[in-house]
Amino acid sequence: MIWKTFAGTLLTLLVLAAIEYQGMGYLISEARAFIFPPNGLTPQKVVQTDTAADGTTTLLAVGDIASCEERPGFADKLPNFAGLLGLESALDPTTALANETAALAESWPEAPILALGDIVYSKGRPVEFEHCFEPTWGSLKPRILPAPGNHEYNTPAAFGYYDYFGAQAGPDRRGWYAVNVPGWLILSLNSEVDASPSSPQSTWLRDRLDEAGGACILAFYHKPAHSLAERDGRASAVDLFRQLQQGGATLVLNGHNHFYERTVALDGAGRMAPGIGTVAFTVGTGGKTSEDRPRLETTEAAAFGRTGLLRLDLRDGAYSWAYVDALTRDVLDEGTRPCNPMRA
């Protein structure tokens, strides 16, 4: 009897471990993607919106979005099993700061949104996309051009992210793709995988930059290469920024740091390069905030302690920006500039 009880308990624990084990979810996800290729919107279809009469394309941009408090209890410890039983999720979306930025995004109901990574917290699990991102930002999903962040990669190969966005995250679950709007090439890149000069991502990027012709270039990915907070694990971000700047990129947008920052024009090493450099925006304010920080000489504008969105108006040969506070709707930073003169 004791052995039967022990065997039954062990079997139960093994079943629970298999249900909760993210590696199992990854294997199932990979098998499903192999058998049933992702469908739905492609990135280029997301940006097929009406361009204004003057040729302007409006985009929104923000990262670090859906972070929900977790109620302690059974569903917190065993979220997948709780879901199978139909129990209420441990995640509480009602108090998430992401609700503030979702409401602000509705002010521009046609604008595509560049999601700058860390789209959901804290492990990028399917249950977090289902019970945290979906209740807060889910209605905005058809407008999103996503890029993965480090929190997405807290699950094996970011499978929760790729399962949620499907074809919208670009081809082959690699985390990079390109779209075109009038006068601009937009590149979504992956700062969480190799971007060294011989890497597949760098080779792909080199080809896209060579083909850009006279288009202005905007790139976005999660980790900033050069910011007020230079955190560990940014080697790929530095490689990407250097390659983009040398290729004539006008703008690079990032999240990761939970504040807003706009730099002066920078060279590939992050030094001031007026007139020829690339401007970097950090917009990690979709659902996270941080304390004030001292400015650097490369910082042209910054805002702390509040959520907000960056609005970009792209025109042939120029762009305008406005960083908008999500609660007050105050514009905290704005301006207009021409594209990088290094473009072909």
Q: Encoding tokens for residue 99?
A: 């609700």
Helix or strand or coil: residue 141? helix
**The predicted structure's pLDDT at residue 6:** 47
**The predicted structure's pLDDT at residue 23:** 58
Burial 68-105 (b: 16+ CB within 10 A, else e): bebeeeebeebbbebbeeeeebbbebeebbbbbbbebb
**The predicted structure's pLDDT at residue 29:** 73
**pLDDT, one tens digit for every residue, the chain (344 residues):** 565 554 444 444 344 344 445 656 666 777 777 687 777 899 999 998 767 778 899 999 999 999 999 865 444 455 554 444 455 667 999 999 999 999 999 999 999 999 999 999 999 999 999 999 999 999 999 999 999 999 999 999 999 999 999 999 999 999 999 999 999 999 999 999 999 999 999 999 999 999 999 999 999 999 999 999 888 889 999 999 999 999 999 999 999 999 999 999 999 999 999 988 999 999 999 999 999 999 999 999 999 999 999 999 999 999 999 999 999 999 999 999 999 875 44
Q: Which of 117, 340, 113, 60 has the alpha carbon at shortest distance from 234?
A: 117
Q: Encoding tokens for residue 20?
A: 């909760």
**The predicted structure's pLDDT at residue 1:** 56
Between CA 138 and CA 257 the distance in angstroms is 23
Q: Are strands 331-338 and 318-325 parallel, antiparallel or unpaired?
A: antiparallel
Rg (C-alpha) for the chain, rounded Å, is: 21
**The predicted structure's pLDDT at residue 5:** 55
Strand partners, 321: 312, 335
Between CA 273 and CA 278 the distance in angstroms is 8
Between CA 137 and CA 101 the distance in angstroms is 9
**The predicted structure's pLDDT at residue 77:** 53
Amino acid at 46: V
